[in-house]
Amino acid sequence: MATVSPPLEKPSLGPTEWSMVTEEAPVAPVERVEAKGNREEWVRGQALVEGRTKSARTSTVPMDASSPKTNASTSTPAKAAETVDMGKRTATKVINAPEHGMQPKYLRYNVWDPTSDFTPTTADWTEMATPLSRPPLSELVNPIATKTIREYPDLFKVITPIKVDIFESYLSTHPNQPFVRSICEGLREGFWPWADTTKPDYPAINDQAQSTPADKGKAQFLKDQLEVELTKGRFSPSFGTDLLPGMYSMPIYAVPKPNSSDFRLVTDQSYGKHSLNSMVKHESVTGYPLDNLVHFGEMLLDLQRKKPDQVRVAWKSDIAEAYRILPMHPLWQIKQINMIEGKRYVDRCNAFGGSASGALFIAVNSLVAWIAKRIKGVSYLGNYVDDSSGCGLADDTVFYEPYQRSFPRDQVILLSLWDELGIPHKEKKQVYGSPLTVIGINVDANNLSFTLPDEAKVRLMEELKWWCRSGGKERLRRWFQMGGWFNWALNAYPLLRPALNNFYPKLKGRRDSPALIWVNKSIRDDFAWAMRILENSTGVLLLKSLSWGLEDATLLIYCDACPAGMGFWYPKMRIGFYSPTPPIRIRS
């Protein structure tokens, strides 16, 4: 059992000479290492991740990348550049994130402790969450908006399929009643997105709507979706062609759903100088938790310990039209005016494209998860936005009458709870088996492994090959997309992390740059290295990714590294090694 894992390829250290030191002159340890071995296209990219890029494992904290960086063949971990929300926090306390203990940092939390308690989930988070925002007094006394709402009451209604009284009754024993009350008030009166619509210099009326798209398929979708929204009461009847006082109208798009030929209606609430999203206090809508593969790994390992000889399955259930089941407050509805074929409609519900949309839905669904676990007794459950997932035994199924088929017991309990609360779902989105794709990662409940689905792995290899071509340039949006995509792959292939060493520095300070950015040789070499590793990688194997303590180590090594050099100290052997940093040679 070794305590320091070797790099995947021998690093090219240059003409370095290693020297030995004795116990009398040890290298002072700084870090102890123990290891076991166009606009619509932009909106489309944002909509693919529901307005935020999310990580299936944990947050990638934005920070400036420094230069120079080493090549990918070293084991130096990559740091994230300053990006737009490269990840969401999990329910784990952020303060504990840097405490890796026996866990090598490069593994990105791909190590599980078989003796510890479960990591806190979104359901646990609700017990300490801050209550959601309500409209402030400045909004309630806004003379322009309140006059329009008062004069046209039929346009502004609070619409939700959720049975609030039943929902609230299940939460009567919840320990965080202020948070519960804020959610129930939002369901009854409409949610408020932490916004200030009375900002100076913002116009009383703002019309940024765009004409019907030229693409016939998209135009027909918008027309068909209008009928759906009107039927369900989520759109008001048309009030004509002109905006009323206090109204804002943002562009809407028909955006393809991921891995589907279907479209989704997305409102571009970030459009223009006086956009709706610019009114939202962004510090209030970030940090809402998502359960991830850390939690799923813990669930699988716990089930494996309790039932080691039985066949296991993973399951996944999806809420239909997730964001849209939440009502917005009339004072925000007045800002959500959509135009389709020249006519205006009030959007009464939570819209895809709003900065606060995800936070609002996560907050509500986390309480649903709390009910499922604490009241209904679901054993294994995690939430990732509108996806709920868990695991169980293959032979422990229950017949679910609405779909006339059997599902894993916990999955049926959750579906029945959704039915009781009025939360909609569709049969085709309720799946189980092994392996099963959960939040973009293939989960094998019996081999206890996480890998990329074959198609996703092929696509990633093709994308890496594209970036490896000589003389390539890419726009900033594609750089950010590649960064998010690569980070997703690290959930199953953490050893690829060094390949980002030279990637992120190219993004520093380029948030809105329209220029094409060169893909330099260092990045091409790193991605070529990543392709070779990815081709032969088996993903994350949970039983080979268990944490261990110092008492299990056969050898303990202290190391220290700084710009002047590097050293290692072996206390048991009473020897050490050090080397100065090789000189930088500049080619003439």
**DSSP codes, 259-278:** TSS-EEEEE-TT-STT-SGG
Q: What number of residues does the chain have?
A: 588
Do residues 235 and 347 make contact, with C-beta atoms less than 8 angstroms apart? Answer: yes
Please give the structure tokens belonging to residue 30: 């700084």
Sheet holding 382-384, edge to edge: 382-384, 387-393, 312-318, 431-433
DSSP string, 467-508: HTSTT-EEEHHHHHHHHHHHHHHHTT-GGGGGGGTTTGGGGT
Tokens 């006519």, residue located: 343
In terms of C-beta density within 10 A (0-12 exposed, 13-18 middle, 19 or more buried), how is residue 345 classed?
buried
β-pairing verdict for 248-249 and 575-580: unpaired
Do residues 16 and 565 make contact, with C-beta atoms less than 8 angstroms apart? Answer: no
Please give the structure tokens belonging to residue 314: 């993973």
The Cβ of residue 158 has, within 10 Å, a number of other Cβ atoms equal to 18
In terms of C-beta density within 10 A (0-12 exposed, 13-18 middle, 19 or more buried), how is residue 52 classed?
buried
Beta bridge partners of 258: none
Element containing residue 306 per DSSP (H, E): helix 293-306
What confidence score (pLDDT) does residue 50 get? 42
The Cβ of residue 262 has, within 10 Å, a number of other Cβ atoms equal to 10
75, amino acid identity: S
Q: Strand runs (DSSP E) across 302-354, as ranges?
A: 312-318, 337-340, 343-346
Tokens 């696509």, residue located: 459
Q: Which has the closest alpha carbon to 94: 118, 60, 64, 124?
A: 60
Measure the CA–CA gap between 31 and 561, rounded to whole angstroms.
Answer: 8
Give the SS3 label for residue 171.
coil
What confidence score (pLDDT) does residue 227 get? 96
Q: Strand runs (DSSP E) across 286-412, as ranges?
A: 312-318, 337-340, 343-346, 382-384, 387-393, 397-400, 405-408
Dihedrals phi, psi of 515, to nearest 5 degrees: -75, 155
Distances (CA, A) of 479 to 79, 336, 491: 15, 31, 19
Q: Within 13 Å and on the Cβ side, how many CA atoms surround 274? A: 16
Instruction: Supply angle C-alpha 452, 453, 459, rounded to 5.
Output: 85
Locate all alpha helices (DSSP H) within 405-490, ordered by sequence: 409-421, 454-467, 476-490
What confidence score (pLDDT) does residue 94 get? 36
Is the sign of the CA dihedral 71, 75, 76, 82 positive or negative?
A: positive
Encode the chain (588 residues) as per-residue pLDDT tens digits: 333 333 333 233 333 334 444 333 333 332 223 333 355 554 555 544 443 334 333 333 333 333 334 454 433 333 333 333 333 444 443 333 444 455 666 565 667 777 777 889 999 999 999 999 999 999 999 999 999 999 999 999 999 999 999 999 999 999 999 999 999 999 999 999 999 999 999 999 999 999 888 899 999 999 999 999 999 999 999 999 999 999 999 999 998 877 677 888 999 999 999 999 999 999 999 889 999 888 998 999 899 989 999 999 999 999 999 999 999 999 999 999 999 999 999 999 999 999 999 999 999 999 999 999 999 999 999 999 999 999 999 999 999 999 999 999 999 999 999 999 999 999 999 999 999 999 888 999 998 888 989 888 999 999 999 999 887 888 888 898 899 888 888 888 888 888 998 998 888 877 666 778 889 999 999 999 999 988 888 887 765 666 666 776 788 888 888 888 999 999 888 899 989 988 776 655
Measure the CA–CA gap between 105 and 348, rounded to whole angstroms.
Answer: 46
The Cβ of residue 175 has, within 10 Å, a number of other Cβ atoms equal to 11
Beta bridge partners of 338: 345
What confidence score (pLDDT) does residue 542 get? 63
Measure the CA–CA gap between 299 and 110, rounded to whole angstroms.
Answer: 14
Rounded to a whole number, what is the distance in angstroms from the first to the last CA of the chain? 46
β-pairing verdict for 206-207 and 248-249: parallel
